Structure 1
Amino acid sequence: MGKAFSMISNPFRNFNVESRAHKIISQPKPIPAPRHEKDEADLQRLIKEFPKVYQDSLKKNEQLDKHLKEVFVTSREPNVNIKQEYNLNRPLPMDRTNVGPFLYGVKEPENIPIGKTTLGKVMELITKHQSDPKAYNSKRVSEELAIPGETAKNILKYVRVFEVYIPQERETKAKFAGPSLPKVQVLKQLRKQLPPPNPKEKEKT
């Protein structure tokens, strides 16, 4: 159905197509789309209040056109063969290999100012304090980390290292906590006696 419809409509669509194309191309200015009512009202108000500004906007500004023609951009690519000078004050990294994961997630600084410390040293001394509190007290921690004594006390008081407790395996098997009565019971008293079999019924079978 679509093919038959296109065969019928194509001659009408292509009728005088060259003349219509020349007519559209020869138009000096394309017809703009109709404006909204509010935009049209604003434009009419602008024409009425500022007629000179509106007329100037329709004319070509020769001075501005001259300035635009004088503006140009030149692109110059750097010479890749020229090596940049090496600055000793700002040396570039020579090792470009990938850095592996750090122990605590961040790289610890090499130079530590007085009164500061690193996470690794703190964790090490806290672990020693938990294993031997008398030997590694707050005074010794303060001396080794070069931090105030009050800060060392607060660290040992409020910070702990996680400990893993593995329970020992049981040597004896656990007893069943169910009923202690045996499943099979022997009845000593006779409850019901079955009658002897009938010989006639036995002969029939």
Structure 2
Amino acid sequence: MGARVSRVFRNFNLESRVHRELSKEKPSPAPRHPARELPAADVPPSVTEKNEPLLEHLRSVFVESTEPPAAAQEQKPAALKEAGRRPLKYHFPGGVSGSVELTDVPRGKLTIVEALKALGSHQHRPQTWTPEKVAQEFCLDPNDTKALLEFFVPFKVEIIPPKTAAAKQLKAS
């Protein structure tokens, strides 16, 4: 009921109010600052005139582009080693949540997929996947790899008991 009443007052004499607003004189814009105006008399004539020697030099320039030879494309992993990058070892098919598919990563870095693969492999077979082998496989610092494998444990859930006995406890199964 209140919406109907407010709509009546809101739309009352709407057309005449619109015509009144439109018929008002529009405010004039503020004058521009004199520094913003570019006087035509201050432009030096050398800017507006054609320079024939420069135009001739420009006409004589010819750029030709060719495909790189196939041997240069095959040497991409060597170029990656020089640039401090390594090719990607593991990836999810179809990309991770629609992200751009990576082809290489910097040395000393891991993608999420590679980190999960390394941590999972070490957790399932610690004798085979030693910290030294993981560091060598993914071009990582051995000290950082040891710390990562020791302190970051994925897929392990620990239930912390509550401080009070009256609180509800989860039962470990």
The interval holding the TM-score normalised by the smaller chain is 0.3 to 0.5
Query: With CA pairs under 8 Å and 6+ residues apart, which has the higher RCO, 1 or 2?
Result: 2
TM-score by length of 1: 0.29
- Which of these two proteins has the greater Rg computed from alpha carbons? 1
